[in-house]
Structure 1
Amino acid sequence: MPDSIKIPSLPETDGPKAACASLRFATITDLRAGLDAGLFTSKHLTDTYMARIREVNDILRPVSQLSSNATSTAELLDAELAAGKRRGPLHGIPVLIKDMINTTDDMHSSAGCTGLVDARPRSEATVVSKLREAGAIIMGKATTSQWAKCRSEHSAPNGWSPTTGQCLGVFCDNQDPSGSSSGSAVAMSLGLAAVTLGTETQGSIITPSSWGAVVGFKPTVGVVSRHGIYIVSRLQDSVGVIGASVMDVAMVLNVIAGPDEKDNFTIKDTRDTERIERPLDYTTACAQGNLVGLRIGVPRHVFPPIVFRNQQLDGAVSVLANLGATIVDDVKFSEFYEEFYDDLDDEWHLSFLTDLRDNMKDFLASFETNPHDLHTLADLIKYTAETPTEMATEYGMDMWQQAEKVGQENSPDSAAVKASRERRRHMQNQIPELLDKYSCDLLVLPGATQITAELGGCPVLLVPLACYPEGHPVSRNRFGRVETGPGVPFGIEFVGRRHSDLALLRAGHAFEQATAARRKIMPVMEPKTELWDGEATSGII
């Protein structure tokens, strides 16, 4: 049974106590101030978050597992703080990480696959080591859509894996959580951790953040190491941050960014034609209160035809202009268009499928204990077909089967794979080409609009904007889950060329501060436990 702890009785004061009154809105800065002022301890904060998780997890399932070490780690960090040692802004701050990120503690690193629940990696992911060194508490792992939704073209629902079940969004009944970083976004929507980590190949951070009314950031590929993490594409995948504010995202990026010899893309990416001077402090992007000097393009020709959302985007563009940005309206890509992804042929996918197969082998090689002998994609196909809980019949494996076939028939250096890779490389230039043509620094679009940012490894930032009003038509996917409808949020998306991370964070922070849109979007269900209200309990789910 979990142990109950009484919430401390604190005097009514302004400042950190007021800022932390609702953990759904509390930022890392707020929590840091409360911890440093002695209003609560890291242990108490961790216990409270865990209690909040237990309130909702049986229904919404955003968290796949909690670490039994979280409370003892919090106690050690409290002792350090009491002794005058503070490792940095994340000291004693509880975080959740996506269940595709390896840890060597008591939690599994399964990517949502039952065959890896008892497997143990040789080492922790670089981002985990960096978080621990900075004093963050790895409280648990967030639910992932199994294998980043790259098992089947017509795959399982967003937020589903056989290890956790079905994660759901919180802004209407039966809401689709979207993306593969589903649990990371839903957990932040409800204030179940101070911040979460996700991963993205194409939309897996940005889309669930848009539908979850939280800030989501996929930095430039190569800014953050992917060592110890399941990735689909070395050219496209990045670790990213989902948080309560743009400043929080920048603070975490300060900790996890940087070169790592175990991921050569953090040392040199062939898409960078010149030496890149990377920022020492991403929070400096949040220092300016205006956007004077920034030129922002608006590519309306690729906006999905959702009238209300586009109207809200128009209002957002006016806010950016009032903040001092120069708006360059109706810019156009030379080749990309709204239906681009619907018109692609087999050659386009060839190099992606080759990478998927090779990267799966590399990820499976990271385990020193692998009880089901899953070492290749072929092994996984066989295991999935033979294991009823993996639901191969219901959700298929056609993408895996295509990747295995492609890999057997083509070497990475075959003419066909090279041709596919060249087509993708050509399209990766669409964003920098447009920005150069119109002398723009970045683009803004309705949240979760895909415009080839993934092909160039470009950064994308999502900031909450609004939600659909009462009476708005409800749209559902083939699983019957709501994608748009009354109360469902959406965001504004900022996209830039490679290594324009600071410009995106600057624009997003200024917009966020000017609108405070997130506070106007309310879930239909949320936990009640707060830092000084009732009781919090510690334990594991």
Structure 2
Amino acid sequence: MRTSLKRLSVAALTAAGLLLPAAADASPSRFLDQTTIPDLQRAMDHRQLTSEQLTRGYLRRIEELNPELHAVVQTNPDALSAAKESDTRRRTRSSRSALEGIPVLLKENTDTADRQTTTAGSTAMLGSRPAKDAFLVQRLRAAGAVVLGKANLSEWSNFRSGGQIPGWSGIAGQTRNPYALDRSPCGSSSGSAVAAAAGLATVAIGTETDGSIVCPAASTSTVGVKTSLGVVSRTGVVPITAQHDTPGPIARNVTDAALTLSVLAGADPADPASVAAASTIPKDFRLDRDALRGKRIGIWRKGHTGIDQQADRIFESTVHTLRSLGATVVDGADVEDISWSVKPDLLPALLTEFKHDLNAYLAATPGNHPRNLSELIAYNDQHRDVEMPLFDQSLLIDSNKADSNLNDQAYRRHRATATGIAQRSIDDVLASKGLDAIVTLSDLPASPLDRPGDPRFLSSTRNTSVAGYPNITVPAGFVGPLPVGISFLGTKYHDAQLLNFAYAYEQASHARQAPRYLPAA
């Protein structure tokens, strides 16, 4: 549903109008959910709203809602000055992109060479002083976006302990799901997804190594774009592994996600994977409501349905919607569960890559902080009351025992085997059934904060993450107050096609609802 300019101007005339009022009143939140970046751009072009007003409104919402949500670690002290500069550019008709003046939150593992910190959620990194912006931040600033602040995350992007609690970090505590505060926000891009869902920014940036965009986006009724490996540069992002890590947008609608991705994507000479992917994302998206017509869409049920009857109901409604949009629905497109087949190779590869990549990042980043994994482990031991009140650092310890040599033949065999298994698991299904994409449940409704998700639900992200393939989640419905998302996945560099499929589905389903901040589900 497109918000009218007239209606938007009424909101803009109130104090920070678009973003009022408090969380207890759902109607303005519904209005905010229906507003897209093109709506905001038209309002600013017609001088019914300024970037400064928009930025002040988001800062006000953060001040009002964040004490309960713990989604935002810090706001950028230079955000208002950047917004004012954007307004000046607009008055001289020199807007730089569709993101001109649009406030964006970054995940707190993304370098900025300004007065903000980059900690990956760890108090050990409070003295970190990155020498320059991450490449994706450079692109956002060059496009005129306003860097509003940084969002909370699962500490070290969920690669610290096997018993890690999604959305918890030593730097900012526990991020809460805005749909029910006692439910998990999933992770590791927990704060980014919650901030987008709660209207604390127009769009947020997350990163995924395995499920870290898709799961929190699905849990918060937002659109999460896990791109093909390299579509968005990883330079300046605190790493887990360059073989999986993929930054991407989290937004309340596909339009905003696509526009943001078109800015983020680009060739970075320091990230060879981004050079290879540079031509795969159009700079000017033409999203098509009829994109699914005539397409063959595979349905992946095995390991995802038959566990929660209400989630099954939503998924079957999704299948009906796909048919109504002209897609040929192909049943039995179940992707192999690779959790066990890749296990002997994947974990050894990840431990080696994490040690190599994190040590390189720590050694190259200026400031007063641990210079390598050994020093980080020692810091956590010395500050157990802050860093380890809830879970240990077993993954850090195991990784530190690994050989960080990426030229080692045993390591290279592990990586090639794991990646090959994952890629074949998707490509074989696409090819054998002549599919344009595969659709499945992104996850079940969010579990309680103190309990893991249902172990019967198999990962819907492991295959795409290890393969380096795209996976886009879009809101599909609700089980009680809790969101459920569906994922469109495909082969390498089919990101733009999947975004169009997600857009066509979104425009027909209108499944998203604003959060109500219930104390419990």
Which residue number in structure 2 is paired with residue 158 of structure 1?
Answer: 166
Q: 1:365 aligns with which of 363, 366, 369?
A: 363
Which residue number in structure 1 is paired with residue 91 of structure 2?
Answer: 82
Deviates more, 1:228-237 or 1:443-452: 443-452
Amino acid at match of 1:402: D
Amino acid at match of 1:45: L
Which residue number in structure 2 is paired with residue 399 of structure 1?
Answer: 395
How many Å apart are 1:15 and its aligned residue? 5.7
CA distance in 1 between partners of 2:257 and 2:5 (Å): 30
How many Å apart are 1:243 and its aligned residue? 0.6
Which residue number in structure 1 is paired with residue 353 of structure 2?
Answer: 355
Pair 1:495-2:489 in alignment: yes
Partner SS, residue 452 of structure 1: helix
Q: 1:461 aligns with which of 472, 477, 480?
A: 472
Amino acid at match of 2:332: D
Instruction: Tell me if structure 2 keeps the 8 A contact 1:282–1:502.
Output: no
Pair 1:381-2:377 in alignment: yes
Deviates more, 1:447-456 or 1:41-50: 447-456
Pair 1:444-2:439 in alignment: yes
How many Å apart are 1:290 and its aligned residue? 4.3
How many Å apart are 1:13 and its aligned residue? 3.4
Q: What pairs up with 1:227-242 in 2 under 5 angstroms? A: 227-242=235-250
Which residue number in structure 2 is paired with residue 119 of structure 1?
Answer: 128
Partner SS, residue 506 of structure 2: helix
Pair 1:13-2:6 in alignment: yes
Amino acid at match of 1:413: N
Which residue number in structure 2 is paired with residue 524 of structure 1?
Answer: 517
Which residue number in structure 2 is paired with residue 533 of structure 1?
Answer: none
Distance 1:393 1:50, change over 3 A: closer
Per-residue displacement from partner, 1:3-28 (whole Å, max 9, x unpaired)?
xxxxxxxx993465579563344221
Which residue number in structure 2 is paired with residue 291 of structure 1?
Answer: 292
Q: 2:321 aligns with which of 299, 319, 322?
A: 319
How many Å apart are 1:358 and its aligned residue? 0.8
CA distance in 2 between partners of 1:325 and 1:162 (Å): 46
Which residue number in structure 2 is paired with residue 48 of structure 1?
Answer: 57
How many Å apart are 1:264 and its aligned residue? 1.0
Q: What pairs up with 1:237-252 in 2 under 5 angstroms? A: 237-252=245-260
TM-score (norm 1): 0.85
Instruction: Tell me if structure 1 keeps the 8 A contact 2:121–2:154.
Output: yes
Q: What pairs up with 1:72-221 in 2 under 5 angstroms? A: 72-155=81-164, 157-221=165-229
Amino acid at match of 2:479: Y
Partner SS, residue 34 of structure 1: helix
Which residue number in structure 2 is paired with residue 418 of structure 1?
Answer: 412
Instruction: Tell me if structure 1 keeps the 8 A contact 2:203–2:251.
Output: yes
Instruction: Tell me if structure 2 keeps the 8 A contact 1:122–1:366.
Output: no
Which residue number in structure 1 is paired with residue 457 of structure 2?
Answer: none
Q: What pairs up with 1:526-541 in 2 under 5 angstroms? A: none
CA distance in 2 between partners of 1:46 and 1:303 (Å): 40
How many Å apart are 1:262 and its aligned residue? 1.1
Instruction: Tell me if structure 1 keeps the 8 A contact 2:185–2:216.
Output: yes
Partner SS, residue 365 of structure 1: helix
Of the two structures, which has the highest relative contact order with CA contacts closer than 8 Å and spacing of 6 or more?
1
Per-residue displacement from partner, 1:433-468 (whole Å, max 9, x unpaired)?
110111101100011423511111101111001111
Instruction: Tell me if structure 1 keeps the 8 A contact 2:122–2:387.
Output: no
Instruction: Tell me if structure 1 keeps the 8 A contact 2:9–2:49.
Output: no
Distance 1:15 1:54, change over 3 A: closer
How many Å apart are 1:496 and its aligned residue? 0.7
How many Å apart are 1:522 and its aligned residue? 3.7
Distance 1:345 1:41, change over 3 A: closer
Instruction: Tell me if structure 2 keeps the 8 A contact 1:24–1:192.
Output: no
CA distance in 1 between partners of 2:210 and 2:216 (Å): 12
Instruction: Tell me if structure 2 keeps the 8 A contact 1:113–1:390.
Output: no
CA distance in 2 between partners of 1:13 and 1:362 (Å): 52
Pair 1:430-2:438 in alignment: no
How many Å apart are 1:414 and its aligned residue? 3.4
Distance 1:451 1:104, change over 3 A: closer
Deviates more, 1:190-199 or 1:85-94: 85-94
How many Å apart are 1:37 and its aligned residue? 1.3
Per-residue displacement from partner, 1:360-418 (whole Å, max 9, x unpaired)?
1122134122x13x12111111111111344336411111111111227xx43334323
CA distance in 1 between partners of 2:419 and 2:378 (Å): 33
Amino acid at match of 1:145: S
Instruction: Tell me if structure 2 keeps the 8 A contact 1:196–1:241.
Output: yes
Gaps of 5+ in 2: 13-17, 19-27, 444-459
How many Å apart are 1:295 and its aligned residue? 1.0
CA distance in 2 between partners of 1:426 and 1:367 (Å): 33
How many Å apart are 1:277 and its aligned residue? 4.5
Instruction: Tell me if structure 2 keeps the 8 A contact 1:297–1:442.
Output: yes
Q: 1:513 aligns with which of 468, 484, 507?
A: 507
CA distance in 2 between partners of 1:91 and 1:60 (Å): 28
CA distance in 1 between partners of 2:351 and 2:90 (Å): 48
Q: 1:254 aligns with which of 238, 244, 262?
A: 262
Distance 1:459 1:129, change over 3 A: same
Amino acid at match of 2:221: A
The aligned length equals 482
Partner SS, residue 467 of structure 1: strand
Aligned-residue identity in percent: 31
Q: What pairs up with 1:268-347 in 2 under 5 angstroms? A: 268=276, 277-281=279-283, 283-284=285-286, 286-304=287-305, 305-333=307-335, 336-337=336-337, 340-341=338-339, 345-347=343-345
How many Å apart are 1:348 and its aligned residue? 3.5
Instruction: Tell me if structure 1 keeps the 8 A contact 2:189–2:216.
Output: yes
Instruction: Tell me if structure 2 keeps the 8 A contact 1:16–1:33.
Output: no
How many Å apart are 1:252 and its aligned residue? 0.7
TM-score (norm 2): 0.88
RMSD of Structure 2 on Structure 1 (CA): 2.1
Partner SS, residue 32 of structure 2: coil
CA distance in 1 between partners of 2:186 and 2:52 (Å): 32
Per-residue displacement from partner, 1:482-520 (whole Å, max 9, x unpaired)?
xxxxx111111111100111221111001100011103x
Deviates more, 1:104-113 or 1:292-301: 292-301
